[in-house]
Amino acid sequence: MNSMAARRRHPATLVVMLLLGLLVTGVIYAAVDSGTSAQAADQKWSETQVEAGKKLFAEGCSSCHGLGGGGSSIAPTLIGSGAAAVDFQVSTGRMPLAAPGSQAPVKGVIYSQAEIDAMAAWVASLAPGPAVPSDAMLDTSKADLAMGGELFRTNCAQCHSFAGKGGALSDGTAAPTLMNATPRQIYTAMVTGPASMPVFSNATLTIEDKQSIIKWIGSLQANDNPGGLSLSRLGPVTEGLFVWIVGLGALIIVAIWIGVKAK
Amino acid sequence: MSDIATPGTTADEHGHDSGDLELPNGRPAPAPLPHEPRRADVDPKAARRAERQVSTMFLLASLLVIAFIVAYIAIDKNVVIALPVIGTMSASNLALGLTFGLAVFLIGAGAIHWAKKLMPDVEVVQERHVLESSPADREEAISVFDAGAQESGFGSRKIIRRTLITALALFPLPLVIILRDLWVTPTDSPSPNELLSETIWTKGERIVTDGSYRPIRPEDIPVGGLVNVVPASLEKVEEVEGTLNARAKAASILVRMTPAEIRSQQGGSAEEPWDVHGILAFSKICTHVGCPISLYQQRTHQLLCPCHQSTFDLADSAKVVFGPAARRMPQLPITVDAEGYLVARSDFQEHVGPSFWEQGSS
């Protein structure tokens, strides 16, 4: 009988196993919470906005993207990116970037919507590009939810998962969760194709199609979990992991208790 | 077996052997650990406490079962409550699961606690029996077998023996024939090789968006764009049997990159290129085990399969750069028609979908 086997019957084993189980469970459920918000606003850019945006850009963005927004060896050009790209990248907290990497992480939003609009106005003044949507374009009251589901499964689900929870890609990149995305951010992401995401133009995925998709994502966001723990809705992988670690762990702890001799 | 030493016959007051056993290798068997009486064996107070604990568990189980019934009747199934970490969930589900689950657990736990604390725990030795049959039984079995062989004439009647062996040898053949017909079909229907080498893409077939069936012009797709597409004729065969097969084989994607980024393509010439100004069409069905893939990463031009992480470089003939797929993703030659819409130049030139034995090397 080796020493490990001997310690198996130690009274502390049960406590240790229990703590270990709790620790593992706790680590798995460390919930990541990130909230973003953006107010929908659409207006023709004014001259003062463009001027203010130019100033803000020079302070916060030009070290990488260049004073003229023409890009550099470490950052892409913004000429032709359009207002929508600025709106998406800054309102989700992706830009300004702390350091170049495989993917821009979502951080706290540091600019107000007025400042974001100003920078968007300046970038839009460089060259035509995707514009930010008007409130009417984001109105999903008449959108077809079922069609949205079909289009979502065809065009979005492969990366963002069927539940919109996101998923892994290659080389350290990942498709983000859509649970905190606003209709405006969903729209601007589709028309600009940030990072690894391809562009879904208004010609192949019309504004009505996009409204349907936005409505569908809204219904995914509003879903309750009547069955209890959603396990992030990532599917069979997390479910299997849960059963193997928590379920089997509990069974092992009970089995150890059964096997311990009573004092 | 039979050389195991006769087990010791002396036992102490708790039923222990005295330890004079001998193992087959001649060494003495290890002596059993001395029996230690439990607290409940020697202290009536501890025994009563254990008794109380067990009965409390059983009583709680009863209360929980009643609580389950009450919860089932009282709690509306649409009531949702919010819990920390877990989030929102149905109050009814939570109450029913907790009460019934705990009741079952407490009945089991009580029974085990009872057995561990109060039921006799003396160690008992159960002797093994010799597994070998007695010599007389073995003699008899052999003589019965010999008599059977003699009387049946299996040894002497050669013609019967040979025909029987022939019949048994031929018996599995129908199974082989049936299995063979799984892949060799009647002559009038196409072989799997033909079935899988053709899709409903034909020369001049319009390329339309999947789901909404809209034809696409080259200018509709920006650089970095992705469109999930199907052949226009799929809309017409929507209700016909076999549509799913046609759809599964024809599903494709269009991507656009700047022409300078395209390092190689699977075919085409300067006069008849397979792309349209950087718009490339590929099958959507992974060549590994057939997952639909459109995880196009526009910065690296890599197409990633979510099932087994096969990765294809669409800028370089869609060749495999990572993962278990053994074959590149087939490219669909495309061009524009007279009205300026994207159309297929022909069907795929390679098998779409998972590789299979008969396709040869392509």
Mean pLDDT value across residues B67-78 = 93
Query: Do B87 and A209 count as a contact with CB atoms less than 8 A apart?
Result: no
* Whether B53 contacts chain A with CB within 8 A: no
- Average pLDDT score over residue span B3-8: 42
Above 60 in pLDDT, residue B317? yes
* Confidence tier at A26 by pLDDT (50, 70, 90): low
Residue owning tokens 């035509």? A128
- Angle formed by the axes of helices A248-259 and A12-28, to 10°? 180
Same domain as A55, residue A32: no
Point out the residue among B87, B221, B322 whose CB comes nearest to the CB of A204. B221
Tell me what percent of the residues of chain A surpass a pLDDT of 70: 89
Tokens of B193: 């090789």
With pLDDT > 90 as the criterion, what percentage of chain B qualifies?
Answer: 56
Q: Which amino acid is at A181?
A: A
Q: What is the pLDDT of residues B165-207, one digit of tens each?
A: 999 999 999 888 888 766 655 566 666 677 777 888 999 999 9
Residue B9 is predicted with a pLDDT of 40
User: Is the Cβ of B296 closer than 8 Å to some Cβ of chain A?
Assistant: yes
Q: Under a CB-based contact definition with an 8 Å cutoff, are residues B266 and B331 in contact?
A: yes
Residue A40: how many other CB atoms lie within 10 Å? 16
At A179-194, the pLDDT tens digits run: 999 999 999 999 999 9
Both structure tokens of B242 = 């076999």
Tell me which residues of chain A have a C-beta less than 8 Å from any C-beta of chain B: 29, 31, 147, 150-151, 154-155, 158-159, 167, 169-171, 173, 193, 195-201, 203-206, 209, 224-230, 257-258, 261-263
**A155 contacts B306? CB cut-off 8 A:** no
Q: What integer pLDDT is reported at residue A177 of this predicted model?
A: 92
In a domain, A4, yes or no: no
Amino acid letter, residue A9: R
| Average pLDDT rounded to a whole number, residues B78-95 | 85
B30 touches chain A (CB under 8 A): no
Three-state DSSP class for B211? coil
Give the per-residue pLDDT at B323: 93
Q: Are A243 and A205 in a shared domain?
A: no
Please report which confidence band the pLDDT of residue A103 belongs to, taking 50, 70 and 90 as the band edges. Answer: confident
The reply to whether A155 and A101 lie within a common domain is: no
How far are the Cα atoms of A45, A102, A162, B307 from residue A158, in angstroms, in the given order? 36, 20, 7, 10
Split at pLDDT 50, 70, 90, the class of B18 is very low
A132 located within any domain: no
Contact B201, B228 (CB under 8 A): no
Examine the pLDDT at A17 and tell me if it is beyond 80: no
Residue that is written with structure tokens 């064996």 in the block: B41
How far is the first Cα of chain B from the last one, in angstroms, to the nearest whole number? Answer: 63
Size of interface A-B (CB pairs under 8 A): 115
CB contact under 8 A, B86 and A154: no
Angle between helices A207-221 and A183-192 (to 10 degrees): 130
- pLDDT tier at B252 (50, 70, 90 boundaries)? very high
Residues A170 and A189 in one domain: yes
**Chain B residues with beta carbon closer than 8 angstroms to that of A104:** none
The conformation of residue A247, written as its DSSP 8-state character, comes to I
Eight-class DSSP state of A246: I
pLDDT at A30 over 60: no
Are A69 and A80 a contacting pair, CB within 8 Å?
A: no
CB contact under 8 A, A158 and B302: no
Q: What is the mean pLDDT of residues A148-160?
A: 92
Helix locations, B35-134, DSSP H: 39-42, 44-74, 91-117
Under a CB-based contact definition with an 8 Å cutoff, are residues B7 and B125 in contact?
yes
User: Domain with A176 in it: what CATH number?
Assistant: 1.10.760.10
pLDDT at residue B236 greater than cutoff 90? no
Q: State how many domains chain A has.
A: 4
User: Cα separations (Å) of B104 from A68, B17, B72, B100, B246?
Assistant: 71, 39, 17, 6, 52
**From the CA of A48, how many Å to the nearest CA of chain B?**
31
- Range in B14-18, B268-272, B290-294 with the lowest mean pLDDT: B14-18
Residue B243 near residue B234, CB atoms below 8 Å: yes
Would residue A79 count as lying in a domain?
Answer: yes
Look at residue B362 and tell me whether its pLDDT is greater than 70.
no
Q: Is residue A134 part of a domain?
A: no
Q: If pLDDT is split at 50, 70 and 90, which confidence band does A34 have?
A: very low
Tell me which chain A residues have a C-beta less than 8 angstroms from the C-beta of B210. Answer: 154-155
Q: Is residue A32 part of a domain?
A: yes
**H/E stretch holding B256:** strand B252-256
CB–CB of B184/B193 below 8 Å?
no
Query: Backbone dihedral region of B109: left (phi > 0), alpha (psi from -120 to 50 degrees) or beta?
Result: alpha
Looking at residue B1, what is its pLDDT? Answer: 39
pLDDT of residue A262: 79
* Domain residue limits at A157: 145-222
Q: What is the mean pLDDT of residues B71-81?
A: 90
Indicate yes or no: CB of A158 within 8 angstroms of CB of B322: no
Same domain, A77 and A63: yes
Check A170 against B311: CB less than 8 A apart: yes
pLDDT at res. A235: 77
Provide the shortest C-alpha distance from residue B60 to chain A (in Å): 19
CB A164 within 8 Å of CB A141: no
